[in-house]
Structures are given as structure tokens and as C-alpha cells.
Amino acid sequence: MPTSSEKVIQLRQLLVEKFGRCEPSADEIFATGVLLLDEAGIPRGGITEIVVSARHGAGMLLVCGLLHSLAKRNERVAVVDGKDSLHPCGLSQRDLQRVLWTRCSSARETMQAVDLLARDGNFPVVVVLLGLNPPWELRRLPGTTWHRLHMLAEKSATALIVFTSFPLVGCARLRLSAQADFPLGKLHILRSGLAARLTLQVERRRERNGDEAIRRAVCA
């Protein structure tokens, strides 16, 4: 006698066979709950690259905002840490409660971990931190790796959000550039106040049918 979960899985398979995949479409936008990201429109089932060039804290501010917002909604999130550099003490336990943190030591390991998580399909969002990986290591990654990840994310309707220091992911459906403008003295004020000084710029948006639109619209 199958268990309830097995029955649900069997029923899903039956429905997919009869009516096609009924999971969220890869065209959908994933609502993160972070105003800036939602305005840019994070695609579900694709790679979003967020380039944080100036080292002022904009990247981690976005990551923390994302984790906080997802924790509010009880969403599961995987953080693939390219250089084992996440500082959990800067976050609250509530935000970390459903976070799967994978602590990698190289870009190659990171890609393998992302591959597994993108295939898994149980995490609606996978955040990949590559900000501290040396550029030479990242440039050695074959371009096909990103294409494969893109296909996997599309299949499992996972939103892959990759934080980098320079444009890296050629097949990203959305490339954003994050900027922050707060003086050193303002590093220790309330985070809500800091977020107001954050800007996200859409560098490139690629539609699913392959059309590419290069925009330079300031989101905030």
C-alpha cells in the first residue's frame, strides 16, 4: 500500500503524463519580497546574475534582505558559498532557520554543488556567492557549465541568483548591477536605512525565446 507522499508523487507523475508539466512556468517571475529585486523581476527557472563591483556591502545587503524576506514566508533557500565566506553571525537565527548552507572551497566544487541543487528542485531559490572567488578561477569555468545549470534551473523552475564581482554568466536571463552609496560611518545603522541607499541597475534581460534586450533602467 503506497504511503500518502508516494500517492502524491504518483498522482503528480500521472498528471504530468496526461496534461504536461503543471509546475510553475519558467516564464514566471519569482517574488522575492525584496522591493528592488522584485522591481527587476527575478525569473523563475533561469539564472540571475548580480554583479557587485564596488566593495561597499551592497551584495551582502541584498543577500541578507533576500534571506530575511524568504524566512518570513517560510521558504526554503540554498546558499552555495563559493569560498566558505558567509558570516552567519551577521544574520538572525530566524533568517537562517530554513537555509541550507553549502560551504565550498573552490569554483569547481561550487558548480558541482549548484548542479546538485538545481537538479533537486526542492529549493525555489538557490543563491550562489562567487564574490570572493579569484577571477582567474571563475574564468576557467567552461561556458557550457553555466548553460547546463541554466537548463537544469529551467527544468526544475528554480531561481538561481548568482553574485559575482564581474560579468561572468553569459547565459544569464537577467543581469543586474548593484551599487551602494553609504560612507564608512554609516555601516552600523539600521539595515532598513541602508537599503534605501542601494541601487540596482538592469544591465541585460534575455527573454526566454532568445530575444535580448539591453536596458539601462535604474530600478531605484
Partner 1 sequence: MKRYAVLYAPNFRLQATLRHSPQLAGESVALVEVVSGGKSHIAELNPQAVECRVEIGMTPTQAAARSAGIRFLSADAGHERSAQDILLQFAEQISPFIEATANGVVTVEWPSEKSVEEKELTAQLVQPLCSLGLDIRVGVAGTPFLALLASRSARPVRYVENPATFLVPLPVEALLPSEELAATLRTWGIKTIGELRALPTRETCERLGPEALTLWERAAGGQARPLRLVKPVEFFSEESDLEHRIETLEPLLFLLRRFLERITARLEAAYLVVGKLRLGLKFENGSPYYRDFTIPQPTRDADLLFRMLHTHLENFTSEALVVAVELSAKPVRPIAEQFGLLERGLKDPHQLSETLARLGALLGANRVGTPELESSRHPDAFHLRPYDANAASLPESEIPPVGVPWLRFRPAIEAKVVLNDGEPAYLYSSRITSSVREKRGPWRIAGDWWGQLGWSREEWDIETDDGRYRLAHVGNEWFLDGIYY
Closer CB to partner 1, 94 or 140, in the complex: 94
Contacts 24+ apart (CB under 8 A), 38-43: 39/200, 39/219, 39/220, 40/174, 40/176, 40/200, 40/202, 40/219, 41/174, 42/159, 42/161, 42/174, 43/159, 43/173, 43/174
Report, in Å, the least distance between residue 120 CB and partner 1.
4
Q: Give yes or no for residue 60 binding partner 1 (CB under 8 A).
A: yes
Q: In this structure, is the dihedral angle defined by the CA atoms of residues 40, 44, 46 and 48, taken in order, positive or negative? A: positive
Q: Give yes or no for residue 196 binding partner 1 (CB under 8 A).
A: no
Of 47, 38, 33, nearest in space to 200 by CA: 38
Closer CB to partner 1, 77 or 205, in the complex: 77
Candidates 31, 96, 141, 219; binder of partner 1 (CB under 8 A) is 96
Number of shown-chain residues binding partner 1 (CB under 8 A):
66
Rounded to 10 degrees, what is the CA torsion of 101, 106, 107, 108?
A: -100
Of residues 122-161, which lie at the interface with partner 1 (CB under 8 A)? 122, 129, 131-132
Candidates 47, 51, 117, 168; binder of partner 1 (CB under 8 A) is 117
Closer CB to partner 1, 182 or 201, in the complex: 182
x/- site string to partner 1, residues 9 to 38, per CB under 8 A?
x-----------------------------
Of 30, 91, 39, 98, nearest in space to 63 by CA: 91
- Cβ–Cβ under 8 Å, residues 42 and 70: no
Q: Give yes or no for residue 63 binding partner 1 (CB under 8 A).
A: yes
- Cβ–Cβ under 8 Å, residues 22 and 16: yes
Q: Give yes or no for residue 76 binding partner 1 (CB under 8 A).
A: yes
Of 39-47, 91-99, 145-153, 201-209: span binding partner 1 (CB under 8 A): 91-99
Q: In this structure, is the dihedral angle defined by the CA atoms of residues 190, 86, 206 and 159, taken in order, positive or negative? A: negative
Question: Which residues would be at the binding site for partner 1 (CB under 8 A)?
Answer: 1, 3-6, 9, 52, 54-57, 59-61, 63-64, 68, 71-72, 74-76, 83-94, 96-104, 109, 112-113, 116-117, 119-122, 129, 131-132, 163, 182, 184-185, 187-192, 194
